Amino acid sequence: MRKSKQKFDTSLRPQRPSPFWHFLQVVLTGAFLLPVGGKIKRVNCEGLKPPYLVLSTHGSFVDFPMSVKSTFPHATSWVASIEEFVGREYLFRKMGTIYKRKFTNDITVVRHVLNALVKQKGIVTIYPEARFSLVGINERLDNALGKLVKTAKCPVVVFVLHGNFLRSPQWDKHPYRHVPVSGEFIQVATREEVATLSADEIQKRIEDAFKYDEYAWQYENKIKITCSKRAENIHRVLYRCPACNTEFHTKSAGTKIWCESCGAEWEMDVYGRLKRTNGETEFAHVPDWYKWERETVRREIESGTYRFEDEARLEYMHSTYYGFKPLGNVTLTHDYNGFTMKGEIDGKPFYFNRDPATMYSCHIEYDFKGRGDAIDLCKPDETYFVFPINAVNSLTKLHFATEEMHDYIMKKRKGEAAHSLPRSGSDAPAGGTDGPAEGGAADEAAVTE
């Protein structure tokens, strides 16, 4: 296939996975998983055969060979974004990959997934968190996964991986830690059950199975991580000091994290537990610190005081041929109107906005390809990578704020809509009234990755 210099054509129907490339994936998978084990426990999988949908947790690159192993001897298609396939669109197509812009609702993607499941009778693997886990716990899922399964009328499997995040956390991918990797391949709804269950019931089964805590798993199984850099860069996610409540003054190196504002210091032991070295330990469990940070952002949004603004460098994902095209600098704002970018590009005014109601989360990358911390902002036909220039270590808070702002705005708008509805009885117009339309495009069976 010739490399297209035009925008990536999302309308092209994905191919069946190539037997040659599947064979190559299997060979490479064996080599890649040799040092980490890669054991898979299958639960309720008797009689499971294609077509079926796999929803997998996502902690590091090792998830991909684990997926190949989990569906062997059958090939799987993936739903994926295009950034990792610059210059390799041929490979993208031959692997049967289905393209998706992160955190957008695109009915074309749903059609491609259904085509792979219903017409090609294949397997499709989706990473529905649409990003690597930041602290080894589950992030929120698209609420239309149950609808997708119901429409496809196929079994659904939840693949929960362990050790993948701990081996290579998103905030410090290298060096690899010596951690065994394993997985639980759980069929949460059979084909017969999908036919009788409602979409909401299927969604609940998915969400109930899709729960994990890698630090708890490490501690409970006494998995030692003796890497001398096991806490290096963890301040990228633990950005707020619980001792003095100051933001963006934490630093980390080796096995320690500390606050440059108040001097508080913690050390991570070989089991992933934190201990304060100069005071009482606030959070021994990393996810507890992370969840506390989220709560502080939620309170900030609910109080009406939240706002982010910074100058940012903007890059545009043009095509698999050109890759990323630098556009220049813009002003990036995140507030109750969502993400807004304003500036001048090539002598012309530039404006971008995503309403918070349309964006239930965002994708962030710490030091993306060595070019700096980045936020991935998309529309159905546009992908921008935005690099804040002055705001130091702001990505994790923006991640929280996107999700909490979405929740806040959705509750507020639903409340206003309910308040504006005519009351029953004599206040209602003759013939009654229809309630506000729910969902719309956002209520379609959306696929996230």
> What does pLDDT average to over the chain?
89
Name residue, tokens 């950005």: 239
- Residue 246 reports pLDDT greater than 90: yes
Instruction: Show the domain range for 361.
Output: 308-393
Residue 2 lies in a domain: no
Domain count, the chain: 2
Based on the fold, state whether residues 197 and 321 are members of the same structural domain.
Answer: no
> What's the pLDDT at 426?
32
> What's the pLDDT at 136?
97
Residue 271 lies in a domain: no
Based on the fold, state whether residues 330 and 193 are members of the same structural domain.
Answer: no
Residue 81 lies in a domain: yes
For 138: left if phi > 0, alpha if psi spans -120 to 50, otherwise beta; the answer is: beta
Q: Of residues 364 and 317, which shows the higher confidence score? A: 364
Residue 143 CB contacts under 8 Å (≥ 6 apart), including other chains:
203
Cβ 261 vs Cβ 279: under 8 Å: no
- Residue 240 reports pLDDT greater than 80: yes
- Cα–Cα distance between 190 and 168 in angstroms, integer? 33
43-64: average pLDDT: 96
Based on the fold, state whether residues 211 and 314 are members of the same structural domain.
Answer: no
Residue 151 lies in a domain: yes
Q: Of residues 428 and 218, which shows the higher confidence score? A: 218
Instruction: Assign 419 a pLDDT band (cuts: 50, 70, 90).
Output: low
> What's the pLDDT at 16?
92
**Mean pLDDT lowest among 80-94, 177-191, 380-394:** 80-94
Q: Which of 372, 393, 414 is the last residue before a domain boundary?
A: 393
15-25: average pLDDT: 93
- Residue 202 reports pLDDT greater than 80: yes
Cβ 264 vs Cβ 246: under 8 Å: no
- Residue 433 reports pLDDT greater than 80: no
Based on the fold, state whether residues 211 and 321 are members of the same structural domain.
Answer: no
Based on the fold, state whether residues 43 and 173 are members of the same structural domain.
Answer: yes
Residue 8 lies in a domain: no
Cβ 49 vs Cβ 72: under 8 Å: no
Q: Of residues 181 and 87, which shows the higher confidence score? A: 181
Q: Give the Cα-Cα-Cα angle 387, 391, 392 (nearest 5 degrees).
A: 95
CATH number where 386 lies: 2.30.29
266: nearest Cα among 280, 277, 253, 251: 277
Q: Which of 220, 249, 264 is the last residue before a domain boundary?
A: 220
Instruction: Assign 379 a pLDDT band (cuts: 50, 70, 90).
Output: confident
Order of all β-strands in the sheet with 250-253: 250-253, 256-259, 265-268, 274-276
32: nearest Cα among 60, 71, 65: 65
Q: Give the Cα-Cα-Cα angle 132, 137, 140 (nearest 5 degrees).
A: 75
For the chain, give me the number of helices (H) and strands (E)?
A: 11, 18
Residue 345 lies in a domain: yes
- Cα–Cα distance between 64 and 56 in angstroms, integer? 10
- Other beta carbons within 10 angstroms of residue 70's beta carbon come to 24
80-85: average pLDDT: 73
> What's the pLDDT at 446?
44
DSSP-assigned letter for residue 444: S
Residue 107 lies in a domain: yes
Q: Where are the alpha helices (DSSP H) in 164-285?
A: 164-167, 191-196, 199-209, 214-220
Residue 13 lies in a domain: no
Based on the fold, state whether residues 99 and 205 are members of the same structural domain.
Answer: yes
Q: Which of 354, 377, 393 is the last residue before a domain boundary?
A: 393
98-125: average pLDDT: 90
Instruction: Assign 87 a pLDDT band (cuts: 50, 70, 90).
Output: low
Q: State the number of CA atoms in the 13 A half-sphere of 72 facing the CB.
A: 16
421-437: average pLDDT: 33
- Residue 227 reports pLDDT greater than 90: yes
* Greatest Cα-to-Cα distance within the chain, rounded to the nearest angstrom: 73
> What's the pLDDT at 103?
80
Each residue's pLDDT tens digit, 285-339: 999 999 999 999 999 999 999 999 999 999 998 666 677 899 999 999 999 999 9
**Mean pLDDT lowest among 28-37, 74-83, 303-312, 399-408:** 74-83
CATH number where 157 lies: 3.40.1130.10
Cβ 268 vs Cβ 255: under 8 Å: yes
Based on the fold, state whether residues 59 and 168 are members of the same structural domain.
Answer: yes
